[in-house]
Amino acid sequence: MEYSKSIVEVIKERTSSRTFDGRKIDEIALRKLSDYIAQINQENKIKGRFVLVRNSGANPEKPVKLGTYGFISGADSFLVGIIDKEEKDALTFGYLFEKIILCATDLGIQTCWLGGTFNKSDFEKTVNLRENEFIPIVSPIGYKRENPRIFETVMRFSIGADKRKAWNELFFEKNNSEPMNEKTIGAYALPLEMVRLGPSASNKQPWRIIHDGQAYHFFLCRTKGYGVMAYDLQKNDMGIAKCHFELSAGELGLKGRWEITGGTEAPDEWEYTATWIAEK
């Protein structure tokens, strides 16, 4: 899609909001968002779909608990991600959902990734949930309340929502023994920084990238005992990283392609996911 501003600005503007001011979302913005979701669904190759749920009927002044991820207040519209119970490609699902999140951000709409377990009754009437489907991801959408509730402030502080790992913890040269130098990596410093700023479940930031020649190998460094169950939240996070890297590289005119190469030498506990091959 064509953004109204730099994708780098959009990524930096995106923050998670659980407290909204109750205002109705601009109809033109909602229409553009709905059209983009329809485009994503049409182009999607995995067994999953995305739905914009409007007018939930909830009292905007009363916080509503959604599944396992806490209370949301002031939002009456939601982005709902639906996936087939047999579909295992959480990485592509997260990649696509983040594209929708960034579209909303560009339209001036605030969001919040909520991953976990959602009661079927939360959205089933609106999304026509089928027997073989479940909902792994939801985002409320709306306009952020200027003074968030104490609950939201405490939660963001407890998980360090605004903190990001340093470059030397995330990005490496040839193997994980040599940290990547932000000042000498060249044009790809910006796409890598956009990966670093990405949202992740409980802010675990599981992405690790090894640069080797023209290749940028993406690995998943799992948090033990976290985020798999019915839906792999940390693979989902890798999809967000892939989205940020690809979109910002494209904006800079950095040509490349995704391949599955098997990666390169890396710690045993890291899981290889994909490789970006930079084209000269």
Low-confidence ranges of the chain (pLDDT < 50): 155-157
β-strand partners of 80: 51, 138
Asked if residue 2 is part of any domain, the answer here is: no
CATH of the domain at 135: 3.40.109.10
Same domain, 150 and 36: yes
Give the domain extent around 272: 167-278
In a domain, 99, yes or no: yes
Specify whether 194 is located in the same domain as 262. yes
In a shared domain, residues 18 and 138: yes
DSSP state of 65: E
Residues 80, 59 within the same domain: yes
18 and 147 part of one domain? yes
Whether residue 159 is contained in a domain is answered as: no
- Whole-number pLDDT of residue 54: 83
Q: Please tell me whether residues 77 and 56 are part of one structural domain.
A: yes
Tell me, yes or no, whether 116 and 237 share the same domain.
no
Same domain (yes/no): 131, 99: yes
Determine, yes or no, domain membership for 20.
Answer: yes
SS3 173: strand
Residues 185 and 101 in one domain: no
Q: Closest Cα partner for 33 from 3, 61, 67, 57?
A: 3
Q: Kindly give the pairing relationship between strand 133-141 and strand 215-221.
A: unpaired
Contact between 217 and 261 under an 8 Å Cβ cutoff? The reply is yes
Give the domain CATH number at 252: 3.40.109.30
| pLDDT tens digits for range 21-30 | 989 999 999 9
Mark whether 251 and 142 lie in a shared domain.
Answer: no
> Is residue 1 domain-resident?
no
CB atoms within 10 A of CB 238: 27
SS (H, E, C) 68-105: CCCEEECCCEEEEEEEECCCCCHHHHHHHHHHHHHHHH
Tally of structural domains, the chain: 2
Same domain, 140 and 208: no
Q: What is the pLDDT of residue 62?
A: 58
| C-alpha to C-alpha distance for 263 and 260, rounded to whole angstroms | 8
Please indicate, yes or no, if residue 144 is contained in any of the structural domains.
yes
Bridge partners (DSSP) of residue 280 are none
Res 121: pLDDT: 67
What pLDDT is attached to residue 42?
98
